[in-house]
Amino acid sequence: MHNQENDFSPEQSLKLITSMIETTKNSLKDRSHYFLLWGWAVMTACVSQYFLKVVMNYPNHYLVWWITPVVLVVQIFFIVRDRKKEKVKTYINEVSIYLWTAIGLSFFAASFIFSKIGWENCYAVYIILYGIGTYVSGSLIKFRPLIVGGIICFPLAAVTAYLSFDHQIIMLAVAILISYIIPGHLLRMKFKKQNLANV
Amino acid sequence: MFKDLDPILHSQLRLAVVSLLISVKEAEFTYLKEKTNATAGNLSVQINKLKDAGYIDVIKQFKDNYPQTICKITPLGIKSFEEYVKNLQAYLGVKK
C-alpha cells in the first residue's frame, strides 16, 4: 500500500476502513488443539476409570485422573508455542484467556472442596464447568457447535446428579464428547478449510 | 465538508493502520506490514506520525532476543477515528 496523502475519496476511505476491520476478523487463530487435548484426555480417563471400576473392580480406579497434571504440562507447552507465534492480540483472545483461567482455577478449587465433602457428585459440577467454558468460548467466536455443546452440558449436569457414580462416569464422557471433542474437530476442520481458501 | 477530515487520518496507510488497531488490543509491526502490504520504511514513517499525534502508542521490546515493535491505539486515537468516521458519514450523507 502506498502512502497517498489526502488524495483518496471519502468513499475509498470508508471502503479501506471496512476492509481493514474485516481483515482483523480473520485474525482469530485455530485454538482447537486445546479442546482436543483436554477432550481426548478426559475421554481416555473416563473410559479407563469405568473399565477399572466396573469391569475390573479395581479400588484405586480414580488414579486415572493423574493424567491431569500431564495434560497441564502439554497445555503449557502449547501456550508457550502459541504465544511465540502470536503477532496480534485481540480482545476475544484476551477474554478467552481470562475465562479459561477462571475455569481452570474453579477445577482446582473444586477438587479441594470435593476432598472435604466427598466425590459422589463431582462430575455433575465438572460438567457445568465444561458447559460454561464452551458456551462462552463458542459465543465469543460465534461457533455454533461449541455453543450447542456447551448448552447441552447444563441439563446433562442436572441429570448426572441423580445417577449412580458408575453412570456419572459415562455422563462425563458424553459431556466431554459433545462439548469438547466433536466441536473441537469441527473447529479444526473449519480453520483448515479457511486456510485452504486463503491460499 | 471534505476539508474537515482529520489530515492525520485521511492518508491511506495511516488510516489502514488505525482501522486495524481499532479492533484489536495490540498488534506487532510485522502484522501491520503484512496486512497493509506496505514497505517497512513507509510504514515506519507513518507509524511515527501517528505516534507523534498521540493516536497510537509504540512499545519497543525484545521477544526471544529479537527486537519487537508493538502498536496500540490510544483513547485519543479512538476518539479521532470515531470523529473521522462521523465526518465521513456526514460528507457521504450530504452528497446523497
Q: pLDDT tens for residues B14-72?
A: 999 999 999 899 999 999 999 999 999 999 999 999 999 999 999 999 887 888 999 99
- Domain positions in chain A are 38-198
> Looking at the predicted complex, does its ipTM rise above 0.90?
no
The verdict on a CB contact (< 8 Å) between A90 and B46 is: no
Of A134-138, B71-75, B84-88, minimum mean pLDDT range:
B84-88
**Helix, strand, or coil here: B69?**
strand
- Residue of chain B whose alpha carbon sits nearest to that of A18: B19
Q: Which residues of A touch B92 (CB under 8 A)?
A: 10-11, 14
Greatest alpha-carbon span in chain A: 79
The verdict on a CB contact (< 8 Å) between A87 and B26 is: no
**Helix, strand, or coil here: A86?**
coil
Q: Which residues of A touch B5 (CB under 8 A)?
A: 10, 13
CA–CA gap between residue B75 and residue B56 (Å, rounded) = 9
What residue ranges define each of the domains in chain B, with the CATH number in brackets?
2-95 (1.10.10.10)
Q: Which three cell numbers stand for residue B49?
A: 506520525
**Helix, strand, or coil here: A90?**
coil
Q: Where are the alpha helices (DSSP H) in A65-181?
A: 67-85, 91-117, 122-141, 144-160, 165-176
Residues near A70 by beta carbon (within 8 Å), at least 6 away in sequence: A41
CA–CA gap between residue B73 and residue B32 (Å, rounded) = 13
Q: Looking at the whole model, is its pTM more than 0.90?
A: no
The verdict on a CB contact (< 8 Å) between A20 and B16 is: yes
